[in-house]
Structure 1
Amino acid sequence: MSSMSKFKKLAGISAFAFAAMTAANSVSAANWRYAHEEYEGDVQDVYAYKFKEYIEDNSDHTLQVYRFGELGESDDIMEQTQAGILNFVNQSPGFTGALIPEAQIFFIPYLMPTDMETVIEFFRESEAINEDFPKLYAEKGLELLQMYPEGEFVITLDEPVTTPEGLQNKKIRVMTNPLLSETYSAFGATPTPLPWGEVYGALQTNMINGQENPIFWIESGGLYEVSPNLIFTGHGWFTTASMANKDFYDSLSDEDKELIQNAADYAFEEIIEHIDGLADEALAKIQKASDEVTVTRLNEEQIKAFKARAPQVEKKFIEMTGESGKELLNQFKKDLKKVQND
């Protein structure tokens, strides 16, 4: 056998051995892919990296995290997850609501309390969150791992307002979510659905007059620079959810399923600690960065005028979701009443 033939044979054996070794390793170790909707250091990013930390500290698996824009907008990463390109996705019901109408329940104004302690207990204990929602997500090929709060909704506008009448003719950016549009219609504004990537420019050019988000996101995205009037209406909390492609999840060993569930629980506990005080910190940063910012916190009498318009949104939710939505709403209220009375 010539030296070249020996080399080719050895190379072939080495390639085969390498392929066999890679295949063997892939059984025990995998590189999973996880995408979310926010920037570096934001709440979803912190959650994702805590999830990654647990996975990698407790297994041979690795996790690649993709932030906002790296794989497209929110709709893009959901499509990639459903197609199995991504293993995990973190997406708020503001976008998932188009896929799972019942997820829009978080956009019924004044349904959720705004004090953090009650909100956290609700997410821990709610039957609607922990038993009903996983079934709804499963119907769409998604394994719901964790729902968690990010922060209280804050509206930013081109001028301070304290009444629904003040929102008349104001174009307010909303996520592509029919019920959120209904909420701002009820509040007297003109809801304007826009993907996140277009919001800053639309505010800057006065294509829209305002938007809503948690205060940390308003600070992180620099929205206060082009929409400096912050209005705390007390109408709800921004909620998000981490989930897995269900076919991928169902194909895993019981050991890996337990690993993922434990990682989701670990990341939840870490994120609850992270958001404690986050809103105050973000507001302080905004006020330090800009002299143009105003802060308006509605009093009880002013809130009453907005709250009076909430029932029509609740009615619309039931129209959109039918009997399943009605049952979910009843359970939601029952769960809320329980944590508020404890």
Structure 2
Amino acid sequence: MMAALAACSDSGNDGANPSANAEHEGQNWRYAHEEYEGDVQDVFAFKFKEYIEEHSPNTVQIHRFGELGESDDIMELTQAGVLQFVNQSPGFTGSLIPEAQIFFIPYLLPVGDDKIVSFFKDSKAINEMFPSLYAEQGLELLAMYPEGEVVVTADEKVTSPEEFKGKNIRVMTNPLLSETYSAFGATPTPLPWGEVYGALQTNIIQGQENPIFWIQSARLYEVSPNLIFTGHSQFVTAMMANQTFYNELSDENKKLVQDATAYARQYIFDYVPGLGDKMLKKIKEDSDKVTVTRLSEAQREAFRERAPQVEAKFIKMTGERGEELLNQFKSDLAEAEKSSSKE
């Protein structure tokens, strides 16, 4: 696949080593993400493309999920310089950047839209500490943003850790997410995304987690109709560039990329709030078999009290650097809480 993509690149327009002339004439940049048409990452990517193409002679070619393989494939292509930009959630990036698994500590991130947007805008951990971690892997971190509250779907209603026992819950290939579902009483089962629908349909797995828009878009509710709002997490993703490509851009094009990213991120900050409710309505309209269970505070507490073991596992996996990041996260979250309470 990598060789085929490289072979079809524009003549004299190698994204990893652009010439000054190519910059002046405009380049075609490739950008891959993990979602389908109209999903949040797709909206972000097209807003980025819109800004780039309105403000420069450059063009952006977007590849949606499946066009270039799974998440691991598009990351490999980006690190190799075949793709210039990629959107990938920390759930997959965690194998490269263990600290990115911080997003899978349950009940760390708030699920309220106003609090989470404030956090991502102002967080020192997000905007100052994470870029250096990504740079170690040859990646220029351009933006992190939330996609919505994570919701669990299962073969039956679940309201307690005891009711998770004996259930295989699909997780991304992420050790900390596996730890979370082990703590919740389930059996974590890593699976690539392309196998999830079929595995739910054949009862190889009995559940999975994703934001509501993805449950609707991928029609997961057809084979996993019981939606459980545990309130334990937000789905987060990151947009990044191949660092060699980025470093070799002119100052003008670097600013263009930064401005386009800021434009797309702000659009998403305005777009995501309320999206879950809209998609849940669509799901209910499409299927009368769907059930919605919103855990009470008392029910959530039974899950929340298991979070410290996941946090301890994170620190063990990431050492002092991870602990420093976690402390900054908590400080930033406290500030976001203050900001949202004043508004």
Aligned equivalents of 2:326, 2:275: Cα separation in 1: 29
Q: Which residue of 2 aligns with 1:26?
A: 22
Report the secondary structure of 1:213's partner residue: strand
Aligned equivalents of 1:339, 1:109: Cα separation in 2: 18
Report the secondary structure of 1:149's partner residue: strand
Report the secondary structure of 2:208's partner residue: strand
Aligned equivalents of 1:281, 1:300: Cα separation in 2: 24
Aligned equivalents of 1:44, 1:207: Cα separation in 2: 28
Query: CA separation of 1:25/1:254 partners in 2, compared to 1, >3 Å: closer, same or farther?
Result: closer
Q: 1:327 aligns with which of 324, 328, 331?
A: 324
Aligned equivalents of 1:42, 1:117: Cα separation in 2: 21
Q: Which residue of 2 aligns with 1:257?
A: 254
Q: Which residue of 2 aligns with 1:289?
A: 286
Aligned equivalents of 1:248, 1:301: Cα separation in 2: 50
Aligned equivalents of 1:141, 1:24: Cα separation in 2: 22
Moved over 6 A (4+): none
What RMSD, in angstroms, separates the aligned Cα atoms of the two structures?
1.3
Matches within 5 A, 1:61-76: 61-76=58-73
The superposition leaves residues 42-82 of structure 1 with CA deviations (integer Å, 9 ceiling, x where unpaired) of 00000000000000000000000000000000000000000
Report the secondary structure of 1:267's partner residue: helix
Aligned equivalents of 2:49, 2:133: Cα separation in 1: 26
Aligned equivalents of 2:158, 2:110: Cα separation in 1: 22
Q: Which residue of 1 aligns with 2:4?
A: none
The superposition leaves residues 189-233 of structure 1 with CA deviations (integer Å, 9 ceiling, x where unpaired) of 000000100000000000000000000000000000000000000
1:312 aligns with 2:309: yes
Q: CA deviation at 1:27?
A: 3.1
Percent of pairs identical after alignment?
69
Aligned equivalents of 1:178, 1:71: Cα separation in 2: 25
TM-score (norm 2): 0.93
Aligned equivalents of 2:109, 2:146: Cα separation in 1: 11
Q: Which residue of 1 aligns with 2:171?
A: 174
Aligned equivalents of 1:99, 1:280: Cα separation in 2: 33
The superposition leaves residues 125-154 of structure 1 with CA deviations (integer Å, 9 ceiling, x where unpaired) of 000000000010001100000000001000
Matches within 5 A, 1:135-146: 135-146=132-143
Q: Which residue of 2 aligns with 1:220?
A: 217
Report the secondary structure of 1:152's partner residue: strand
Matches within 5 A, 1:77-226: 77-226=74-223
Aligned equivalents of 1:338, 1:284: Cα separation in 2: 33
Q: CA deviation at 1:274?
A: 1.5
Gaps of 5+ in 1: 1-17
Q: 1:239 aligns with which of 218, 236, 240?
A: 236
Q: Which residue of 1 aligns with 2:3?
A: none
* Deviates further, 62-71 or 23-32: 23-32
Q: Could you tell me which amino acid in structure 1 is paired with residue 324 of structure 2?
A: E
Larger Rg: 1
Q: Could you tell me which amino acid in structure 2 is paired with residue 206 of structure 1?
A: N
Q: Which residue of 1 aligns with 2:53?
A: 56
Report the secondary structure of 1:243's partner residue: strand
Q: Which residue of 1 aligns with 2:266?
A: 269
Report the secondary structure of 1:114's partner residue: coil
Q: CA deviation at 1:26?
A: 1.9
Aligned equivalents of 2:50, 2:248: Cα separation in 1: 22
Aligned equivalents of 2:75, 2:338: Cα separation in 1: 37
Report the secondary structure of 1:90's partner residue: strand
Aligned equivalents of 1:80, 1:201: Cα separation in 2: 27
Report the secondary structure of 2:215's partner residue: helix
Q: Which residue of 2 aligns with 1:41?
A: 38
Q: Could you tell me which amino acid in structure 2 is paired with residue 109 of structure 1?
A: P
Aligned equivalents of 1:338, 1:205: Cα separation in 2: 45
Aligned equivalents of 2:71, 2:20: Cα separation in 1: 35
Q: CA deviation at 1:25?
A: 5.4
